[in-house]
Amino acid sequence: MAGQDHPDPPSQEPRPINLPSRLTRQFLSLCPIMTALIYNVTVKVSAKAHHDWVNWMRDIHIPEVMATACFSSFRFLHLEGYDDEEGFTYAIQYACPSRALFDIYQAEHAPLMQQKYKEIFDGQIVVFRTILKMIGEG
């Protein structure tokens, strides 16, 4: 695939992502202001699946993750300078107010979500997940 052109990342204005319910936001507002953890998911997605993946993330997956009420916010990022003939690289960062909420997500939600992810995009993505402990922010 070397030298093969692939489409640029979507240039359209970002569509809003459905956020959790008011009740969920009220619950999260009771959590500490400072984020305890960042759950970082880095994804290399093939050029072939790129546009479908971005739309699926924006319209389905991220809203489902946020609906678990385990995270207070997210960032959906494109890594500049890492696109190549193999595809596009993105990071999704979910802010988690506590380790306990993250453990709930891992135990009760992540296995099914990761299985759906694999079923839909098997062979089209490479995923690297990390947990970042917040030291400070400004």
CA–CA dist 1, 74 (Å, integer): 33
Interacting residues of 40 by C-beta distance below 8 A, sequence separation 6+:
91, 92, 93, 94, 129, 130, 131, 132
pLDDT for position 28: 56
Q: Which residues pair with residue 44 across a beta bridge?
A: 89, 126
Q: Domain 38-133 belongs to what architecture?
A: 2-Layer Sandwich (3.30)
Q: Which residues of 28-61 are buried (b: 16+ CB within 10 A; e: fewer)?
A: beeeeeebbbbbbbbbbbbbebbeebbebbbeeb
The predicted model scores a pTM of 0.76
pLDDT for position 82: 87
Average pLDDT, the chain: 83
Percent above pLDDT 90 for the chain: 65
Query: What stretches in the chain show pLDDT beneath 70?
Result: 1-34
pLDDT for position 2: 45
Residue type at 106 in one-letter notation: Q
pLDDT for position 125: 95
**Can you give the three-state secondary structure of the chain, one letter per residue?**
CCCCCCCCCCCCCCCCCCCCCHHHHHHHHCCCCCCCEEEEEEEEECCCCHHHHHHHHHHHHHHHHHHCCCCCEEEEEECCCCCECCEEEEEEEEEECCHHHHHHHHHHHHHHHHHHHHHHHCCCEEEEEEEEECCCCC
